[in-house]
Amino acid sequence: NYNLNAALDNFYNRNASPATTTTTNRKPPVKSDKRLVSLFKKYREDDEHIGIDGTLAYLEDLSITPEDPLALTLAYFLKSPRVGVFNKDAFLTIWQHYECYTITQMKNVILHVHDDILDSGNQYIDVMEDKPLTLKGMYEFTFEFLKEVENQRVLDVQTCIDYWKLLLPLVLKKVGAPVKQQVEERLDQWYEFVLEDHKKPFSFDGWCQFYLFVQDIIIKDPVAFKDYDEMQSWPNVMDEYIEYLRENGLVEGVN
């Protein structure tokens, strides 16, 4: 399965004038360890990217299943532009930064990164943008990550639900037992609502706001949503969700 167009694009991109290639004016490129380069070569699809096959192989070598949240952490950590793709630049720079040259080292770091994100330890940073890696960051990253075409503005409901189911348990890790159960129940109602009732795809704003909604409204008071107010800036879909709960007698006394 050769894609001639893609190949040609890549060829020209690679050989384009230096003015267009040196878009990175941050740090002088660090010389990559040759072990890293050879790892990249093992998985590469073309000279600049690891493709879907390479990604699957890479994950297998790391013994991470694609459904594992660790796979998402890895994508976030390596700034994967979309599902099944890693950029060479990021791959080399980031691993070089953390001095990981072998699969074992990488697996080790990823586990640490994952735990750090959940603990809000802020130990690891986005090397290229010098920002700490956070759970919220990972959540927001996921939306971009899941886009299939460049100008896509929304994600379909089912995809959203799949990834909420992957991401939100991470958010809930720190939440205590009775509340956790109540929140989980609310989330199930949310999934049902967006799938059966709302049925509209989610914009980036809606996606991001839901994270806050979970944190500020649902986890704070999963029973009565005491901090919820229609006049607050929640996107419509959340107001409709509350309305939906109220109409179905699932919540009482929310103004």
Partner 1 sequence: MSHLDSSSTRESTPSHSTTPSHLRSSTSLDIDQSTHKRKKPNHTSSTVSESVILQLNEAKNSSYAVVDIVLSGGELAHSYSLYYRQIENLCRFKHIEQSQLTQVLYDKLSTYFNTQIKPEIDRILSGENDEQTMSEFLMLFNQYNEKLRILARLFLYLDKNYLLQHSTKKTIIEYGLFLFVEYVLNNETGSNQLSRILLHKHDKLLRTQRVSNTINPVTQQLTKLLIKLHSTRTPPTFEFNLTLISKIIDHYNELKETWRCQPNYIITVFHHMNQEIGYFKTCGKDKEFIQMLLMKLRWNLIFYDFNNVIRHELPELINKPELKLLYSYCKITEADYNYDSMSIFVYEVGCFLMDEFEKVIQNSRTDGKSVIPTLVESYSFYTESLTKLGESDSLEFELRNSLSRAVNTAGNNTYIISQLCKNIDSYFKKPENFPNFEYIMIIFKAISNKHEFLMFYKKDLSKRLLLNKSNVKDEEKLALEFLAEIGESDEDSISLKVMFNDLQLSASEYPQLASASDFEFVPLVLEKKHWPSPLYEELTITLPNNFQEILDTFTTKYCELGEKFKSRKLDWNNYKLHQIIIIGHFHEDIEIQCNLLQAVVIILFNEKHNYTLTELNQRTLMDERLLRQVLDTLVSKKLVIQTEGSFKLNSHFTSKSRKIKLAMLKDKPTDMTVTMSMERNRQEEYKATIVKVMKQHEKYSMTNLLQDCLDLLHKRNPTASVHDLKACIDVLITNEYLKRQDQDTLIYIA
CB-facing half-sphere around the CA of 143: CA atoms within 13 A: 21
Which CB atom, from 144 or from 239, has the smaller least distance to partner 1?
Answer: 239
HEC per residue, 206-246? HHHHHHHHHHHHHCCCCCCCCCCCCCCCCCHHHHHHHHHHH
* Residues in touch with partner 1 (CB under 8 A): 153-154, 203-206, 208-209, 212, 230-237, 239-240
> 48 or 239, CB closer to partner 1?
239
Question: Could you tell me which of 47, 77, 46 has the C-alpha nearest to residue 62?
Answer: 77
Taking the complex as a whole, how short is the minimal distance between the CB of residue 59 and partner 1, in angstroms?
33
CB of 79 to partner 1, least distance (A): 23
Q: Angle 43-132-92 (CA atoms, 0-180°, nearest 5)?
A: 25
Contacts of 209 (CB under 8 A, 6+ apart): 233, 234, 235, 238
| Comparison of 101 and 234: residue with beta carbon closer to partner 1 | 234
Q: How far is the CB of 45 from partner 1 (least distance, A)?
A: 32
**Cβ–Cβ under 8 Å, residues 194 and 160:** yes
Shortest spacing between CB 212 and partner 1, in angstroms:
6
> What is the smallest separation between the CB atom of 50 and partner 1, expressed in angstroms?
31
Do residues 213 and 234 touch, judged by C-beta distance below 8 A?
yes
Q: With respect to partner 1, which residue has the nearer C-beta, 80 or 209? A: 209
112 versus 136: smaller Cβ distance to partner 1: 136
